[in-house]
Amino acid sequence: MELLKPTWMSAVAAAAAAIAVWASPAAWAAQSEAPANWAPSEDGTAVIDTATQQIWQRCVAGMQWTGKTCVGEALLMTRAEAGAWALSAAKAEGLSWRLPRVPELKRLAAHSAHSAHAAERAGAQQALFPAAPSGWYWSVTVSINTTPVNQYDYANIARGRTNENADRLSVRQGWAVNLTSGEARADTDKQRKLAVRLVRSAP
């Protein structure tokens, strides 16, 4: 019995240490931010987020899946062109393809951001989404800024910013997400040409 005592005490100590670690707010935060499981679809043309049951096109707009990789040239589009592309893809395939929302794009960016080793992270991302252009992608989320402009603020006066032109500007701006950094911006000019990756919910 005496020989077993240290082993038993070590097991208890290890369990207590594990509980203490997972009881910390930082540990729970890290666990909640960990990426979900991602896997290619059966035909390889899409990637499934098994946690949210969302399906992402494996290749960006303008590129095609060969069975091994994405080939062709990525199309850069205005916000209106991106919306039209999504509608066309949905109609052609009879599937509910659409532009992703900001949180969905940020989750996609986070998939490659939460990994212990940068080399493994980059390799896994390339395997799932090969030949993907880096940088900014269009979101379906629109930018509607209803906050009144302070007409007496010096910075607004210097820029000539008024409630009237702020309203006009909000119509011309939309949301985009940088899939490299995860940054999201609401002030992206809708005439800017960005990459497009479509998403849909699993049936």
- Average pLDDT in the chain: 75
- Report pLDDT for 190: 95
Residue 41, SS3? coil
- pLDDT of residue 68 exceeding 90: yes
CA distances from 1 to 5, 6, 9, 75 (A): 6, 10, 12, 72
CA distances from 95 to 79, 87, 115, 164, 201 (A): 21, 10, 32, 40, 9
What distance in Å separates the CA atoms of residue 203 and residue 200, rounded to the nearest whole number? 9
Segment 195-200 mean pLDDT: 98
What distance in Å separates the CA atoms of residue 115 and residue 106, rounded to the nearest whole number? 15
| Confidence class for position 194, pLDDT limits 50, 70, 90 | very high
What distance in Å separates the CA atoms of residue 203 and residue 191, rounded to the nearest whole number? 33
- Report pLDDT for 115: 45
| Confidence class for position 123, pLDDT limits 50, 70, 90 | low
Reported as a single tens digit per residue, the pLDDT across 14-67 is 434 433 333 333 332 333 333 448 899 999 999 999 999 999 999 999 999 999
Cβ neighbours of residue 90 closer than 8 Å, sequence gap 6 or more: 96, 97, 98, 200
- Report pLDDT for 148: 53
| Confidence class for position 122, pLDDT limits 50, 70, 90 | low
199 and 96 Cβ atoms separated by less than 8 Å:
no
Which residue would you say has higher pLDDT here, 170 or 32? Answer: 170
Cβ neighbours of residue 201 closer than 8 Å, sequence gap 6 or more: 53, 54, 55, 96
- pLDDT of residue 129 exceeding 50: yes
Least confident of 4-18, 34-48, 98-112, 185-199: 4-18
